[in-house]
């Protein structure tokens, strides 16, 4: 079943479209209650945002002509598949003078092939170009 496109009138989703929000584990928003947490029915992975929810937020942002934030939501949706510790490693690798061009190219390739995160891979490739122009890459 194809989900309808969201628009600015659907914001905030939790209030206006709570039935549309599901966790990555498939739980509904209304299942996330203190009672269920205390019973042990809700785990940490149950309260993470899903790529689908981020896409809905991106659609709302686009409807408000907020294209930059829509792109950020879509980048975030891709990163859901990447383990948290790996995201932190990539973040640190992207800091100036931390990585060589080859290091960053390998990260871009990993993002695209292992995690299917093409938008983020392109973002890393763009960073390489900027770092090269500004001489911010680590020299071996």
CA distances from 119 to 57, 58, 70, 132 (A): 17, 14, 12, 20
Q: Look at residues 31, 65, 80 and tell me which one is the last residue of a structural domain.
A: 80
CA 55, CA 63: separation in Å to the nearest integer? Answer: 12
**Tens of pLDDT, residues 92-115:** 999 999 999 999 999 999 999 999
- Domain with 89 in it: what CATH number? 1.10.1510.20
Range of the domain at 39: 1-80
Q: Look at residues 80, 98, 127 and tell me which one is the last residue of a structural domain.
A: 80
For residue 85, pLDDT beyond 80: yes
CA 99, CA 93: separation in Å to the nearest integer? Answer: 6
Same domain as 22, residue 54: yes
Give me 97's structure tokens: 């003078």
Q: What is the pLDDT of residue 47?
A: 92
Q: Look at residues 38, 53, 80 and tell me which one is the last residue of a structural domain.
A: 80
């Amino acid at each position: 079943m194809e989900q309808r496109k969201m628009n600015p009138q659907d914001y905030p989703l939790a209030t206006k479209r709570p039935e549309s929000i599901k966790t990555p584990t498939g739980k509904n928003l209304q299942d996330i209650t203190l009672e269920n947490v205390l019973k042990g029915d809700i785990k940490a992975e149950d309260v993470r945002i899903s790529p689908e929810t981020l896409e809905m937020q991106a659609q709302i942002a686009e409807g408000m002509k907020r294209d930059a934030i829509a792109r950020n939501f879509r980048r975030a949706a891709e990163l859901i598949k990447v383990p948290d510790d790996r995201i932190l490693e990539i973040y640190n690798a992207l800091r100036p003078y931390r990585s060589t061009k080859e290091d960053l190219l390998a990260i871009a390739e990993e993002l695209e092939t292992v995690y299917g995160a093409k938008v983020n891979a392109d973002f890393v490739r763009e960073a390489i170009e900027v770092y090269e122009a500004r001489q911010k890459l680590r020299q071996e």
